[in-house]
Amino acid sequence: MSWPDGEVPEGWRILPDRGPYVYADELALLRDEGIGVLVSKDSGGDHTSAKLDAAATLGVQVVMIRRPPSPPGVPEVTDADGVLAWLDAHR
């Protein structure tokens, strides 16, 4: 995982990790760290649902970063069935 160059602002801490996570752990992390704002990317899945549920429970503000649009002409699928259909169409 790479991080931007430069200093992390005072009072900030980067916690590199990957989900999926469980609600109780996310609730404890947000509470123990005194998190007031949660910034997350919209990954298109449910791996962040525990974190978002914990934030809602604690009244933590959430900033969701939307995925950029795909370039024009690039096909998109949203599930395994879509992938299989696309593959079948391009054999």
Q: Establish if 82 belongs to a structural domain.
A: no
Q: Establish if 59 belongs to a structural domain.
A: yes
Give the count of domains, the chain.
1
Question: What pLDDT score was predicted for residue 3?
Answer: 61
CB 22 within 8 A of CB 46: no
Q: Establish if 20 belongs to a structural domain.
A: yes
Cα separation of 13 and 15, whole Å? Answer: 6
pTM score above 0.85:
no
Q: Establish if 91 belongs to a structural domain.
A: no
CB 63 within 8 A of CB 38: yes
Q: Establish if 52 belongs to a structural domain.
A: yes
Question: What pLDDT score was predicted for residue 7?
Answer: 81
Measured in whole angstroms, the distance separating CA 66 from the mean position of its chain's CA atoms is 10
Q: Establish if 81 belongs to a structural domain.
A: no
Question: What pLDDT score was predicted for residue 4?
Answer: 64
pLDDT tens by residue, the chain, 91 residues: 456 667 888 888 777 777 778 999 999 999 999 999 998 888 777 778 899 999 999 999 999 998 888 899 888 888 899 999 999 998 8
Question: What pLDDT score was predicted for residue 89?
Answer: 92
Q: Establish if 76 belongs to a structural domain.
A: no
Domain extent at residue 53: 1-68
Q: Establish if 78 belongs to a structural domain.
A: no
